Structure 1
Amino acid sequence: MKAVLMTAAGGPEVLQLDEVAEPEIVAPGQIKVRIHAAGINPVDTKIRSRGLFQPGKLPVILGLDGAGEVCAVGAGVTEFKPGDAVWYCNGGLGREPGNYAEYTVLDAKAARRKPISVDFAEAAAGPLVLLTAWEGLFDRAGLQAGHTVLVHAGAGGVGHVAIQLAKWAGARVITTVGTPEKTAMVRELGADHVIDYHREDFVEETLDWTDGRGVDICLDTVGGETLTRSVGATAHYGSLVTLLQLSASDTAWNEARTRNLRLGFELMLTPLMRDLPEARAHQGEILDRCAGLIDDGLLKLCVTRRYPLAEASEAHAEIGGGRVRGKLVLMT
């Protein structure tokens, strides 16, 4: 089969299209999937540039998100049959092959039925960002109707679905973007107020929007100075959730303590990295909830460009440019 291999840690050029052996089912609980599309996420570019997240030997196949058609099932699988359309987040960290390929084999429990109202490309764009946004907003921050929410980088992969999930839950949403095109996009997705961070101070704008109180929940997808400054935009007794690591030089945490903020970290990869079956089952339930919202027309996955599998390196280069709206997808 054709697959894109990460041959070394480095720039996009280390991704090479090659022929590799087609994977086969080796355990009764596995399914084999003909991959039609693979989502591309920033974490893929981090693994490519920095090295594998899990023990593995190069070359490896990257890509956590996939959508495709079941073509074979193990003897113990009862929930799927050949021909079923599925979506999932699995592999791609080093230990298990990812989805920049024509086929994959995975545990049936890691897959869920694809939303019927979207194509494979849109489905492949969803799992990682949907799980991240849902866990960050609901599991970490306890989002409820009536809350005010600040979503950083609202036109990005996580941001654009976080806006929609927060609005669906009855929250008011303010978000940051960097271009007029992204402003238009997030307004269409339901954002109540939009901040152009190139021209406006997001802390001042957020405090003005909330009459000086700050937001109940801040979802940080940027890190660094944006994270530390977000303390000042979050209400006393509010929740600040970040997808990024804290810097040793951060100085805002005394103020966070004074405000009695709930600080949360969101890494949806933890169940994959630590082999936590209950957490993976919970993530499956989230995907089922999101599939329902998508099929009901309440949640949209924005795919801005579809690349052929052979152009994975070009797609990674585009993400590195920092101007992507929504998601990029590889078509196999």
Structure 2
Amino acid sequence: MNVENQTKITEIILLGFHQLQRLRTVFFSVILIVYYVTISGNTIIMVLVSSKRHLHVPMYFFLSQISISDILLSTNIVPKMLSVVLHNGGITSFAACITQYYLFCVFEVSECFILTAMSYDRYLAICAPLQYNSLMDYRLCIQLICISWILAFSLAFIVPVTISQMVFCGSNVIDHFFCDFAPLLELSCSDTITVQIEGLLLCVPILIIPFLIVLLSYVYIVLAIVRISTTTGRQKAFSTCSSHLTVVSLYYGILISIYAVPPKQTSLTVSKVLSLFYTVFTPMLNPIIYSLRNKDIKEALNKLVNDIYRANKCKRNT
């Protein structure tokens, strides 16, 4: 193929979920509700952590960072997706498409590292409770978060830059609802082996190593919990980790299955459903999981609701 004689792509057409054309209104409404719940739930988590003194501890500080990442991830994907669903397709510039993919990578990678920092925090809390306050201080928390975001912006930059330097010609249609790795490569007229190798190599520092650190942390946590003599003590220790463990299982399980160990033959429908789950539904589930399974969050939320109710009642009385 003579690449120089091909017309270079300047716009990308996203087909979205064109198979659901008859259910377009229902699907649009569901995604809109999920987006609203995602923004509201994560914003509430951030407000609670910042306003309630008893939540000013490392675990909830990391949780608020997860909420920031979830809000940014959803806002990067969902508004454009809603437009694509509503109009049964959409057009975006090639530059905007690459930018969306880069930001998607940043927020996904940042969450990987923040979840890893949270697992280290839980390890210290369970396995070294007497040294916890001196080891996991405010300075270390800030350092871990800064490292997480710096690594996210840096590592996520590699693949999008390589993709942007490739030649794209011919078809400009992506049968997806956002600009993801595999759909972009399908449009390229260049040899994609280099960027594919980059993607696989980056899975090591981004997915595999953080996952192994989380796994190792929980091995030590489980061993420490088993050594606790009382049933009440074991339940209390496990309850402090259950929410984080649930989120980690969902997050790493889906990402590793898609990017680190991709199936050889995955249908477009399955790929879209998996992508829909971890870009749209997982950010909504995170605050729900932490709220339902965390006593401190539930108490702080109840107190916040009561404070708002009393303030409104006082305004009406005056």
TM-score, scaled to structure 2: 0.25
Q: Tell me which of the two structures has the higher relative contact order, counting C-alpha pairs closer than 8 angstroms and 6 or more residues apart.
A: 2
Structure in which a larger fraction of residues adopt strand: 1
In proportion to residue count, which structure has more helix? 2
Q: Which has the larger radius of gyration?
A: 2
